[in-house]
Structure 1
């Protein structure tokens, strides 16, 4: 790779042109994995399940978040309307329908149409997984009958209510929307 340098300083030169018209701003969030994360940033889904939103792409129909589970047992049964990418940051989990385990430091891909039941085993005190979810989760009963839907818009509304009521504020939330 060829890099041009400043002839006076020898330092690498940054791109000198204009960015494309309409390009969204970069989004950088410091301390996502830090233990000192403000607890108010975690949006509750139930007593022991919460998520930390990182990006809501309303124009492309996906969201990125860290899911935190502080209980064992069955979390949900769902079908994917789009692809899902996951990186397990802490703990481990699996799907009853598959023989693989998502373990700390591992990556998993879940294809559209897959139906599975997420379980956190008894020996896991806390599970954290970064999920990039395209489309929707369609929550289903054991026979596949739809029970509910979760997508970028329902996640965004849940976060909006939480941040409006806990002092974080909507300006912070708006910074996550693209």
Structure 2
């Protein structure tokens, strides 16, 4: 290079072209088999009907149900103290606490607002929300299934992406959104 600078960028001409290329969108089509992005602008919805009831004062809000990969992403909202469920995970689970806090009976840590939790495959635990917590909202990505068990590990039920999908369809049909409302979250 001759040391001259591009007057618009205060950079050498070669660097200016590279900087401009950063701002150029990808010029080729996406793979035709690739599903479209999923953007949920109101992840915490103002319409209460979007929350799918699980139990008294316990709901989930679906964000992505991947029927092709066997996982789901949802917000779990709890507005009561108590034991929610004892369950086992055959695959990893990721959680991010948006509001409030919760814990597992089997561990000595508390998942608090702003905290991230990784749950390893094979983990069995009992989710608890303590009485001082008015509302808890946590983003969870659940891979595979949640296998509900008694204290000795005997299976009492399960949830997977398909049982969650069925719950959503029934709820949305009953609340007036229509059973097809959930289709926007399927991948």
- In the superposition, the TM-score normalised over structure 2's length comes to 0.87
Partner of 2:163: 154
Q: Which runs of 5+ in 2 are unaligned?
A: 1-14
Q: 2:92 aligns with which of 59, 83, 86?
A: 83
Instruction: List 4+ stretches of structure 1 deviating above 3 A.
Output: 1-5
Partner of 1:4: 20
Query: What SS does structure 2 have at the residue aligned with 1:18?
Result: coil
- Is 1:25 matched with 2:36? yes
Instruction: Quote the residue 1:92 is aligned against.
Output: 101
Larger-gyration structure (1/2): 2
- Counterpart in the other structure of 1:58: 67
Deviation at 1:15, TM superposition (A): 0.9
Cα distance change on mapping 1:18 and 1:50 into 2, 3 Å: same
Number of equivalences: 171
User: Given the alignment of the two structures, is residue 110 of structure 1 paired with residue 119 of structure 2, yes or no?
Assistant: yes
Structure 1 residue 64 displacement after superposition:
0.3
Question: What do residues 153-177 of structure 1 show as CA deviations (whole Å, max 9, x unaligned)?
Answer: 0000000001112121233211111
TM-fit CA distance, 1:3:
4.4
Q: Say what the alpha-carbon RMSD is for the aligned residues.
A: 1.6
Matched, 1:70 2:86: no
More helix by proportion, 1 or 2? Answer: 2
Which of 28, 53, 58 is equivalent to 1:44?
53
Whole-Å separation in 1 of the counterparts to 2:25 and 2:179? 34
Displacement of 1:13: 1.6
CA distance in 1, matches of 2:179, 2:130: 36
Query: Partner of 1:8 in structure 2?
Result: none
1:14 to 2:25 alignment = yes
